[in-house]
Amino acid sequence: MVLLAVLLAVQPYHTKFIESNIGILKSLLDHIIPEKTNPHQSNFERRFRLKYAEPCIRLRFLDPDLYIAGRFKDVSIPLHEFVLANFECENIFITENKMNFLTFPTQKKSIIIWGSGFAVEILKDIDWLKGKSIFYWGDIDVQGFEMLSQFRGYYHNVQSIMMDGNTLQTFTSYHGKGSQSKISSLKFLTNEEQQIYQLVYETDLRLEQEKISQTYINEVIRALKDFV
């Protein structure tokens, strides 16, 4: 039986004993039961094969035909269940902003995932994503392109949307100051993306995705329908 750490019976101690003494217990258990440990994991629960509070993936079905039980369109799924899900969609959109996630227009055979700033790293190594068209939409700033490059390193089929020069020029009145980065070049960007990245890198520029109008978003997605 796999248990949460706080549910282990360690009499006469209270259930939070383990949480309060993880460092000491880790050293003891590594010595006492080395055959039961996963030495490649530093996290206590994963190291000793206990249940842990894994992240959930929040997603919306953009096609009514994909709704769960015909009516649930906005759901949160534990990561291990998402890994096995293989939804019958063709397109997957990923956005970092919650409002853009909630207002993203309908699209046949598509879902959208709310990144919520979680490193795209948790979506790494999910086999069924490799057969989908994946579209990433982040802020036009150094962090947005860093996440895009990282994600494309996992899945070479990732395309960026609304992170281009036309979007940047259309909303010049909303340009703001971004954060600096020490990374001058990113490995997995296209030539056009690299040019935009160089611009925001050198000028500390940022265009937040929530500043992009819904009309513009709808037009981009409508045009995209001709290609997916």
Whole-prediction pTM value?
0.78
Q: Which of 19, 87, 93 is nearest to 50 (CA)?
A: 19
- pLDDT (tens digit, 9 = 90+) per residue, 170-228? 999 999 998 888 888 899 999 999 999 999 999 999 999 999 999 999 999 999 865 45
Omega of the bond leading into 105 within 30 degrees of 0 (cis) = no
Residue pLDDT, tens place only, 87-110: 999 999 999 999 999 999 999 999
Domain ranges of the chain: 5-47, 56-224
| Residues 204 and 179 sit within 8 Å (Cβ to Cβ) | yes
Please give the Cα distance from 42 to 166 (Å, whole number). 45
CATH of the domain spanning 56-224, picked from 3.90.1150.10, 3.40.50.1700, 3.40.1360.10, 3.40.50.720? 3.40.1360.10
pLDDT of residue 121: 81
